[in-house]
Amino acid sequence: MTFVTNDKVVYMDNNATTRVAPEVLEEMLPYFSEYYGNPSSMHTFGGQVGNKIRDAREKIAALIGAQPDELVFTSCGTESDSTAILAALQAFPEKRHIVTSRVEHPAVKNLCERLASLTGHKHRVTQLPVDRDGMLDLQQYEDSLDEDTAVVSVMWANNETGVLFPIAEMAAIAKSKGVLFHTDAVQAAGKIPIDLAKIPIDFLSISGHKLHAAKGVGVLYVRKRTPFMPFLIGGHQEKGRRGGTENVASLIGLGKACELAAAHMQEENTRVRALRDTLENGLLARTPHSMLNGHKTERLPNTTNVSFEYVEGEAILLHLDRFGICASSGSACTSGSLEPSHVLRAMGVPFTAAHGSIRLSLSIYNTSREVDHVLEHLPPIIANLRTLSPFWQTAHRGSVGRSGSQCGCK
Ligand SMILES: *Cc1c(COP(=O)(O)O)cnc(C)c1O
Whole-number Å distance, alpha carbon 186 to ligand 1 midpoint, is 6
How many angstroms separate the CA atoms of 46 and 36, rounded? 7
> Residue 76: CB within 6 Å of ligand 1?
yes
Based on the fold, state whether residues 76 and 194 are members of the same structural domain.
yes
Whole-number Å distance, alpha carbon 215 to ligand 1 midpoint, is 10
Whole-number Å distance, alpha carbon 122 to ligand 1 midpoint, is 26
> Residue 155: CB within 6 Å of ligand 1?
yes
Q: Which residue's CA is minimally distant from atom 10 of ligand 1?
A: 77
Structural domain contains residue 402: no
CA angle at 261 for the pair 182 and 20, rounded to the nearest 5°: 100
Q: Domain boundary at 222, 238, 261, which?
A: 261
Structural domain contains residue 12: no
> Residue 77: CB within 6 Å of ligand 1?
yes
How many angstroms separate the CA atoms of 98 and 153, rounded? 8
H/E stretch holding 151 reads strand 149-155
Structural domain contains residue 101: yes
> Residue 210: CB within 6 Å of ligand 1?
yes
Q: Domain boundary at 235, 261, 287, which?
A: 261
Predicted confidence at residue 340, as pLDDT, reads: 86
The whole-model pTM stands at 0.94
Closest CA to 207 of 375, 14, 44, 365: 14
Structural domain contains residue 200: yes
Structural domain contains residue 175: yes
CB 287 within 8 A of CB 310: no
Based on the fold, state whether residues 243 and 308 are members of the same structural domain.
no
Based on the fold, state whether residues 106 and 143 are members of the same structural domain.
yes
How many angstroms separate the CA atoms of 377 and 381, rounded? 6
User: Among 73, 74, 78, which is best to mutate for testing ligand 1, by the most ligand atoms less than 8 A from CB?
Assistant: 78
Based on the fold, state whether residues 213 and 304 are members of the same structural domain.
no
Q: Domain boundary at 261, 295, 330, which?
A: 261
Q: What is the distance in angstroms between the CA of the first residue and the CA of the last residue of the chain?
A: 44
Based on the fold, state whether residues 245 and 333 are members of the same structural domain.
no
Angle of helix 106-117 versus helix 77-91 axis, rounded to 10: 40
Q: Which of 76, 258, 333, 407 is catalytic?
A: 333
Predicted confidence at residue 408, as pLDDT, reads: 32
Q: Which residue's CA is minimally distant from atom 15 of ligand 1?
A: 159
> Residue 230: CB within 6 Å of ligand 1?
no
Structural domain contains residue 389: yes
Based on the fold, state whether residues 314 and 363 are members of the same structural domain.
yes
Predicted confidence at residue 395, as pLDDT, reads: 80
How many angstroms separate the CA atoms of 284 and 81, rounded? 35
Name the CA dihedral angle for 263, 247, 37, 252, rounded to a multiple of 10 degrees.
0
How many angstroms separate the CA atoms of 31 and 49, rounded? 8
User: Among 186, 206, 254, which is best to mutate for testing ligand 1, by the most ligand atoms less than 8 A from CB?
Assistant: 186
Based on the fold, state whether residues 121 and 97 are members of the same structural domain.
yes
Does 258 qualify as catalytic in the annotation?
no
How many angstroms separate the CA atoms of 181 and 23, rounded? 34
Based on the fold, state whether residues 365 and 321 are members of the same structural domain.
yes
Based on the fold, state whether residues 82 and 172 are members of the same structural domain.
yes
Which atom of ligand 1 is nearest the CA belonging to 208? 7
Whole-number Å distance, alpha carbon 401 to ligand 1 midpoint, is 44
How many angstroms separate the CA atoms of 296 and 390, rounded? 31
Total of domains in the chain: 2
What are the strands of the beta sheet with 203-207, ordered from one edge? 71-74, 218-222, 203-207, 180-184, 149-155, 97-101, 124-128
Q: Which domain holds residue 185?
A: 22-261
Per-residue pLDDT of the chain (410 residues; tens, 9 = 90+): 667 788 889 999 999 999 999 999 999 999 999 999 999 999 999 999 999 999 999 999 999 999 999 999 999 999 999 999 999 999 999 999 999 999 999 999 999 999 999 866 689 999 999 999 999 999 999 999 999 999 999 999 999 999 999 999 999 999 999 999 999 999 999 999 999 999 999 999 999 999 999 999 999 999 999 999 999 999 999 999 999 999 999 999 999 999 999 999 999 999 999 999 999 999 999 999 999 999 999 999 999 999 999 999 999 999 999 999 999 996 444 445 567 899 999 999 998 899 999 999 999 999 999 999 999 999 999 999 999 877 788 887 655 444 333 333 33
Structural domain contains residue 84: yes
Whole-number Å distance, alpha carbon 43 to ligand 1 midpoint, is 36
> Side chain identity at 231, as an amino acid letter?
F
Sign of CA dihedral 183, 14, 65, 205: positive
How many angstroms separate the CA atoms of 154 and 129, rounded? 12
Q: Look at strands 203-207 and 218-222 and give their pairing.
A: antiparallel
CATH number, domain of 124, equals 3.40.640.10
Whole-number Å distance, alpha carbon 218 to ligand 1 midpoint, is 9
How many angstroms separate the CA atoms of 407 and 410, rounded? 8
Based on the fold, state whether residues 108 and 249 are members of the same structural domain.
yes
User: Among 192, 207, 219, which is best to mutate for testing ligand 1, by the most ligand atoms less than 8 A from CB?
Assistant: 207
Which atom of ligand 1 is nearest the CA belonging to 80? 9
Predicted confidence at residue 3, as pLDDT, reads: 76
3-class DSSP state of 189: strand
Based on the fold, state whether residues 216 and 324 are members of the same structural domain.
no
- Residue 60, C-beta contacts closer than 8 angstroms, at least 6 positions apart: 66, 68, 71, 206, 219, 254, 255, 258
CATH number, domain of 378, equals 3.90.1150.10
> Residue 111: CB within 6 Å of ligand 1?
no
Structural domain contains residue 404: no
Based on the fold, state whether residues 61 and 116 are members of the same structural domain.
yes
